[in-house]
Amino acid sequence: MAGFTAKDVMTLREQTGAGMMDCKKALTDAEGDMSKAADLLRERGIAKAAKRASKIAAEGVVYAYVEGKTGVLVEVNCESDFVAKGDRFRALVETVAKQIAATKPQDVETLLASALPSGETVEAFVTDQTAVIGEKISVRRFTVYESAGHIETYIHMGGTMGVMLNFACEENDVTKELAHNVALHVAFSKPQYMTKDEVSEETLAKEKEILMKEVMNEGKPANIAEKIVLGKIKKFYEENCLLDQKFIKDDKVTIAQLIAEESKKAGCPVELKAFCFYVMGQGLEKKSEDLQEEVAKQVEAMKK
């Protein structure tokens, strides 16, 4: 490397937080001048984007995209609700969703390394947009379904929550209405499992232990307590397993019964193969600072 060494590239990377290739290009353009290269990175927005890596991206949207028989549900985060509602951020999310549908990556890391039609990687694209938008942007998670039947999606309140279902069935008016109703049900009831068979032995054992202590603390004899716990486990399944849940529009039928009934009306077999739902920002820590401390920081920054 003319004019600079590999160590210079590493030093610039440590100073700016920018990627190795960006640092190398900046040093090349700056003819090895470290200070000028750092300025170039700032001008290009790359250093600015890198500095945002320590920020907490706890806002954003859940977005659904369906292309033919492929469905995508993705969550992309940013730092503020204002940016999350912006057209540029929404366009970025759509680009990411289309890339997922086209390449069907195994995980976020594979997605970020994949090349867009423009030739740049998704990671480079997101970094560039971070610099333009001015907030940290993070692709958090996604699910891809490939269906031989019908993909149904539902997005609540502009992206605060999203649902995606994969039905094995013919597409007609009856099955489409059924799929829509089940999607609304999932959004409302937030089931954790499809059936009781998906509940792990460990989860079940822990639930039984908690329920047993709860019942024993009420002063019930051991033999009576065991029967009560069995009843509560049944209720646990009804509350957490989608096919066992009571339909929100008609609590006289379970989702399994609803699907069976609508299957007869549709004149074709209907099977719910998979479902998923994302609540935007769930589990992410949101930045919270004391107002006085924040004001003090801003005043101190003005003095510099």
Tokens for 3, please give them: 């004019």
| Contact criterion met (CB below 8 Å) for 160 and 62 | yes
Do both 124 and 61 map to the same domain?
Answer: yes
The confidence score (pLDDT) of residue 300 equals 56
The confidence score (pLDDT) of residue 16 equals 74
Return the DSSP state at 241. B
Could you tell me if residue 250 is inside a domain?
Answer: no
SS3 content of the chain, % helix, strand, coil (to 5): 55, 20, 25
Could you tell me if residue 131 is inside a domain?
Answer: yes
The confidence score (pLDDT) of residue 290 equals 44
Tell me the residue type at 79. E
Could you tell me if residue 64 is inside a domain?
Answer: yes
Of 124, 146, 168, the residue at which a domain comes to its end is 146
Could you tell me if residue 188 is inside a domain?
Answer: no
Do both 19 and 96 map to the same domain?
Answer: no
Nearest-5° Cα angle at 36, 30 to 40: 80
Do both 107 and 140 map to the same domain?
Answer: yes
List, for residues 185-230, the tens digit of each pLDDT value: 999 999 999 999 999 999 999 999 989 988 888 898 888 999 999 9
Could you tell me if residue 179 is inside a domain?
Answer: no
Of 146, 169, 202, the residue at which a domain comes to its end is 146
List, for residues 57-69, the tens digit of each pLDDT value: 789 999 999 999 9
Domain count, the chain: 2
Q: Residue 100 is part of which domain span?
A: 55-146
User: b or e along 24-60 (b: 16 or more beta carbons within 10 Å of the residue's beta carbon)?
Assistant: bbbbbebeeebeebbebbbebbbbbbbebeeeebbbb
The mean pLDDT of the chain is 88
106, with CB counted inside 10 A (0-12, 13-18, 19+), is exposed
Instruction: Give the CATH number for residue 80.
Output: 3.30.479.20
Do both 59 and 141 map to the same domain?
Answer: yes
Could you tell me if residue 215 is inside a domain?
Answer: no
Return the DSSP state at 115. B
What order do you get walking across the sheet with 150-156 strand by strand? 150-156, 161-168, 271-279
> How many angstroms separate the CA atoms of 96 and 69, rounded?
18
Do both 13 and 69 map to the same domain?
Answer: no
Do both 103 and 130 map to the same domain?
Answer: yes
Global pTM reads 0.75
The candidate with the shortest Cα–Cα distance to 101, out of 129, 142, 150, 46, is 142
Do both 91 and 25 map to the same domain?
Answer: no
Residues of the chain scoring pLDDT < 50 = 1, 288-292, 294-295, 298-299, 302-304
Altogether, the residues listed in the chain come to a count of: 304
Could you tell me if residue 269 is inside a domain?
Answer: no
From residue 23, give the alpha-carbon distance in Å to each of 11, 109, 123, 126, 160: 9, 22, 16, 17, 37
Do both 27 and 71 map to the same domain?
Answer: no
Do both 42 and 60 map to the same domain?
Answer: no
Could you tell me if residue 229 is inside a domain?
Answer: no
Do both 68 and 132 map to the same domain?
Answer: yes
Four-residue CA torsion sign, 35, 41, 44, 50: negative
Of 98, 130, 146, the residue at which a domain comes to its end is 146
Instruction: Give the CATH number for residue 20.
Output: 1.10.8.10
If one counts every other C-beta atom within 10 angstroms of the C-beta of residue 12, the result is: 25
